[in-house]
Structure 1
């Protein structure tokens, strides 16, 4: 038997081992690439979700300030409807691109909850623009906004695989003098 034939099984073993190593390395690289890509998209979605929430919250904060001026709230920095008008317009302009990014990158559930939340914010804006005086209607809008925010954040956490978070519903002291501490 020739030397080549004696070495053939070892040579076949080396080739199979090299091929197996190559396949394992390639497969590992593919899996790592997919994990990294998924992490990048998840980070991007989180940024889009947070940006959208910030833009909606900007409108809501402005409506809180005008509502305080109208006698419906206790925001420490009230605004008249005339002072708020350009700020609300700017908030709407700022919110549009973040809404488009949400539609592009968000899950269906997050987009639907985000839409419901922003519709309530727009209702709040209409309420203060028209200088309405119905305190009960304002309180109903506040409750609807809080529920909408909760639903949006819950959908975001579910989409990103995060555990449930805080509801952000904490008691607020009524306006008036601060009681003395003992």
Structure 2
């Protein structure tokens, strides 16, 4: 029995070492799982954020084309409201599920900036449904849209810890008066 007693400290050391090793591996695996899970959610949020922006951009392109039909916008490919109606309906239908995904996965800041941006887009749509011919009022709406878009992109970059982006403003030719 004295041999066993003499070996007991070594045996306890092995058990403690094995237990410590096991706990370190479990802790490391948990940390890795959390990092991977966070990366997956970040990728999903980025997808949702870009899908929403792409959907709004499609609507903006269509409303700019219709605005060109009314002489409000310099877009080179005017589109009559009648021709645009089914395309705008399709864009609106795509915006709804993208908006729901944004509400589900988006940070509160990004959702708020998206709300600001889409509100301007809805105002632009109403402006055209009313058949308004006012290039200066349209220019103000476009500027508000650009500010809304820039705010949305800035909130997305903050949420995903991306480096700051460059707010690009294309120089557009002036609207020709008819």
| TM bucket, shorter chain | over 0.9
Aligned in 2, Cα 1:173/1:133: closer, same or farther, shift over 3 Å? closer
Partner of 1:27: 27
Separation in 2 of the partners of 1:161 and 1:125?
33
Separation in 2 of the partners of 1:33 and 1:22?
16
- Structure 1 segments, 4+ long, off by >3 Å, are 173-176
Q: TM-score, structure 1 length as denominator?
A: 0.93
Separation in 2 of the partners of 1:152 and 1:93?
21
Separation in 1 of the partners of 2:166 and 2:153?
9
Partner of 1:48: 48
Matches for 1:21-100 after TM superposition, within 5 Å:
21-100=21-100
Extract unaligned runs of 5+ from structure 2.
Answer: none
SS at match of 2:140: helix
- Can you list the C-alpha shifts for 1:30-89, whole angstroms capped at 9, x where unaligned? 000000000000000000000000111111110010111111122121101111111111
Extract unaligned runs of 5+ from structure 1.
Answer: 177-182
| Distance apart, 1:96 and its partner CA | 0.2
| Distance apart, 1:170 and its partner CA | 2.9
Partner of 1:139: 139
Separation in 2 of the partners of 1:61 and 1:45?
24
Q: TM-score, structure 2 length as denominator?
A: 0.95
Does the aligned pair in 1 maintain the 2:74–2:173 contact within 8 Å?
no
| Alpha-carbon RMSD | 1.3
Separation in 2 of the partners of 1:136 and 1:76?
18
Partner of 2:6: 6
Which fold has the larger relative contact order, with Cα–Cα distance below 8 Å and residues 6 or more apart in sequence? 2
Separation in 2 of the partners of 1:154 and 1:72?
28
| Distance apart, 1:131 and its partner CA | 1.5
